[in-house]
Structure 1
Amino acid sequence: MSRDEGTAPGRRLLVVADSDSYAKWGAALAGRVAGAWDTEFALLASPVLPSARQLDAALAGSGFVPAEVRTIELDALLAELAADPPDAVLLALRGPLVRVVAGRIAGLPNRPVLVSGFPGLTIPAEPKAVVYRELVDLVVLHSRREVREFRANAAALDVGVRFGLATLPFLAAVPPSAWVGPERDELVFAAQAKVPAGFEDRVRLLGMLARAARAHPDHRVVLKVRARPGEAQTHAEEFDLGELVAAPPPELLAMTGGELPANLVVRDGPMAGHLESAAALVTVSSTAVLEAIAVGVPVLLLDDFGIGPKQINTVFEGSGLFGGAADLVAGRWREPAPGWLGDNYFHGEEHDDWEAELARLVDARARAPLPAPVRRHNLVGGALRRAYERKRMLGDYDRTPAGAVAMVVALPARWLLRRVRRVRAAVTRSAPCAPRGA
């Protein structure tokens, strides 16, 4: 099925996505090349499939519509690719699932060019992110800094994958609008599943939002969530902020005088829609910061929970966007430091080169079949490990006997390995320091 029936037959691109955030990224990136490619969008059956509502939000503005999107299981996908391979497949999937799917496609005759990437912030660049994608041909990144760091990791790992630069596709492609005005009456908080992580910190965060709501009675403080109860997300959320607002725990009520202010509300839907009425965007860490900058909405990045890799906010060091709870209550919003922008996501679309890299790979495939990529890392376990990886990522959608056996064998072994590592680390921490010069 073509994304655009008016597109002349030519190069074919298949987007395969799993979770809501990867579906949003894959659709938006493919939408950037729709005029030059005949594109199709499919969801790979997995435990994190987006709901109909999430899919509708993910596709908003991309040109794809939910009615054109089909869900397909891995074996059926492989059969289709073997029978009629497109020129390229964009694997808009979580890293471990990229590894599983790319490993299966790699052995197909005349395999397509394999492309992957990330839907959000990837600084600091983790070596394991390269390992997960070592079997693809091209990884799409969204800042000059990301390209530098990932290339360094790939060189250290001796992985030959190419990297291409692309403007983050769901950033507005229009000049920033003026953000002042009476119609901008919302303070939008972009929730993250992973930060802050613990129950106490998440209750503390909601207490901050409640104080801000009382301090700004003429604004709605919108807790913008990605999922409703029962819906899956890319990252599991242990203490759902929306549920904590709906049923406030005693700790939160103690902070807020026994009740939450009426102008603290929970909303979902596309972020772009919320930014249209936002006076400011607040978060601990979220790609929504970049969406806000792109349309001229001021930002406040809360640093009360720290700045570091666990908070996924080190990329914003030097941006001038950090502040604390007192700034939130006082309405002291931030504008980005100009010197930070060029190296971090706002390099200018004229510097994007991912389409040219993809074209070179497709041209090479037209001349001769592409070589099968070689798995170089995480080889211990062989076929059993690969079966375990597949079962872990596909869940009940993997019905292979090998997957069932792998789970029986691998889970106890994994638990034992982690226990050994914890004990070893504890012994190392408690060991007395050797005398100087020993």
Structure 2
Amino acid sequence: MTDAAGIRVVAIADADSFVKWSAALLGAVPGLRPHLLLVRTPLTASVDQQRSALAGTGLQTEDVTRVGFAEAAGWLEGQRPDVVLLAGRGPFVRLMGRVIDTLTHRPVTVSGLPGMAIPAQRGALDYRRNTDLLVVHSHREERAFAELGRRVGVTLPTALATLPFARRRQRILRPERVSVEALAARPGGVAVAERPAQPVAVRPPATDIVFAAQALVPVAREERAEIASMLVRAAEADPARRVVVKLRSRPGESETHLERDPYTELLPSRRPDNLVYSYGSMASALESAAGLVTVSSTAAIEATALGIPVIALDSFGVSKSLLNTVFVGSGLLGGRSEVVGGRFRHAHPEWLRDNYFHSEAESTWWERTQELVAMRRAGALPARRLPAARGGSMHDAWHRASVLGREDRTLQGAAALALGVPATRALAALRRRREPSEGGTWADASTDFTLEPNPFHDSMRR
């Protein structure tokens, strides 16, 4: 854990998508040897999920330490990192922020979201408001979070990073650097690397259709069943190609968001032989992909970076609640019949520049982090400490138990949950009835931010 310019960096994470994001983000910093601290919660990645998440990031098994929440403060006190990347859902970030507040050596705290963050959500900003820096991944996200911050009175510095999964530009065995200008100059926005000086091995022809499943969208069981039916039809339409259902978790594993109607239950047990499941990394699934289909997964960006055409399903509409308004203007939106027919497409160059494919030179999050470390060492960066909970120790106990689930074995936590769960449900219902004005609703697709609580019933307790 020593590193670029002598800066010691630790990422604290739990769920699989945040493990993947934090490892890829830090692994891309030249000369940095970060460490990953996995804290046990109901969402913590399994060993197999960890292996898939770390693939291609440069982090190895020995770069990961697993601890219980009660051990985290002592471990951090002993390591004395200069930077802590808080990589988890909002309540997890706030809980670990309270741990950071107890340390005698105050690190710079950085936070972020593991994929596309349009719409910018009030909760996402509020839970991270006491970190020193928020990492965003596109110019559009910069504008959305700045506007959201102005609306709710939260001042949180942001810095631009390249979405880790948007870096690899070509599906060849040796990576080649390609500029965003080259990406935009190609018809359909597909980049071609400069011809290498030495011959490279060419992969077998790609024929798979890969479906990137998501836990949150669509929500309705009947809509998810329609997608399952579409996948069967796509497999039957061409038995010579595989239709690969890329899943995030195996039976018994947890993932970042709760999936109530998994595709393993919606797809028929006697399905076509060429309709298969994949539990490996998305990078592995895309190696043989001729096209990718999703509702709104960040896998669309990963595929685009590799020159793989995409369909972002609009069969159920385009709305913030489907998390697919980010694709408006991309040229990627399409319906189920186009998936069955294999009519995939590439993104428009203008959309690419504003959405995740900016120039690498504009990604200055690490430079900004280094500046903050220098300020902290000089005593010029005040700590952004979390305020005391309004409900006192009982509120703290409720929050801790909500995040840790069974990992919290305190009587106070159990009592706080018994009192707090019905109270928070009532409060959430009240907030939903207070509809904000000026475009801050989930129903208004014309803005890139929301002021309302999110509509997903997605508790961290499992």
CA contact (8 A) 2:27 2:33 kept: no
Higher Cα Rg: structure 1 or 2?
A: 1
Alignment of 1:42-81 (within 5 A): 42-81=37-76
**Residue 210 of structure 1 corresponds to which residue in structure 2?**
232
| Aligned counterpart in structure 1 of residue 413 of structure 2, from 391, 394, 403 | 403
Taking structure 2 as the reference length, what is the TM-score of the superposition?
0.83
2:261 & 2:157 partners in 1: Cα distance? 38
Alignment of 1:301-320 (within 5 A): 301-320=312-331
Q: Which shows bigger deviation, 344-353 or 95-104?
A: 95-104
Alignment of 1:358 onto 2:369: yes
The 3 A distance-change label for structure 1 pair 148 and 73 is same
| Aligned counterpart in structure 1 of residue 149 of structure 2, from 125, 136, 154 | 154
Q: Which shows bigger deviation, 286-295 or 364-373?
A: 364-373
**Residue 252 of structure 1 corresponds to which residue in structure 2?**
none
CA contact (8 A) 1:9 1:38 kept: no
CA contact (8 A) 1:107 1:372 kept: no
Alignment of 1:17-416 (within 5 A): 17-35=13-31, 37-175=32-170, 183-245=205-267, 248=269, 259-368=270-379, 370-375=381-386, 380-416=390-426
Deviations 1:196-239 (A, max 9, x none): 12221111111111111111221001111111111100001001
CA contact (8 A) 1:229 1:243 kept: no
Matched residues, number? 408
The 3 A distance-change label for structure 1 pair 163 and 8 is closer
Q: Which shows bigger deviation, 37-46 or 17-26?
A: 37-46
Q: Residue 176 of structure 1: CA displacement? A: 6.0
Question: Could you tell me which amino acid in structure 2 is paired with residue 367 of structure 1?
Answer: A
2:110 & 2:397 partners in 1: Cα distance? 23
2:77 & 2:10 partners in 1: Cα distance? 13
Identity percentage over the alignment?
A: 44
Question: Could you tell me which amino acid in structure 2 is paired with residue 124 of structure 1?
Answer: P
Q: Residue 66 of structure 1: CA displacement? A: 2.4
Which stretches in structure 2 are left out of the alignment for 5+ residues?
173-191, 194-201, 436-462
Q: Residue 375 of structure 1: CA displacement? A: 4.0
Deviations 1:351-408 (A, max 9, x none): 11101110111001111174332447x9543432222111101112223443222112
Question: Could you tell me which amino acid in structure 2 is paired with residue 405 of structure 1?
Answer: A
Q: Secondary structure at the match of 2:273?
A: coil
RMSD (Å), alpha carbons: 2.4
1:283 & 1:331 partners in 2: Cα distance? 13
1:8 & 1:330 partners in 2: Cα distance? 49
Q: Secondary structure at the match of 1:342?
A: helix
Q: Residue 422 of structure 1: CA displacement? A: 7.8
Taking structure 1 as the reference length, what is the TM-score of the superposition?
0.87
Deviations 1:395-438 (A, max 9, x none): 1222344322211221232244456668999xxxxxxxxxxxxx
Q: Secondary structure at the match of 2:250?
A: coil
1:349 & 1:9 partners in 2: Cα distance? 21
Question: Could you tell me which amino acid in structure 2 is paired with residue 362 of structure 1?
Answer: V
2:368 & 2:218 partners in 1: Cα distance? 37
**Residue 196 of structure 2 corresponds to which residue in structure 1?**
none
Q: Secondary structure at the match of 1:197?
A: coil
CA contact (8 A) 1:57 1:270 kept: yes
**Residue 7 of structure 2 corresponds to which residue in structure 1?**
11
1:419 & 1:175 partners in 2: Cα distance? 47
Q: Secondary structure at the match of 1:265?
A: strand
CA contact (8 A) 1:113 1:137 kept: yes
The 3 A distance-change label for structure 1 pair 416 and 350 is closer
Question: Could you tell me which amino acid in structure 2 is paired with residue 14 of structure 1?
Answer: V
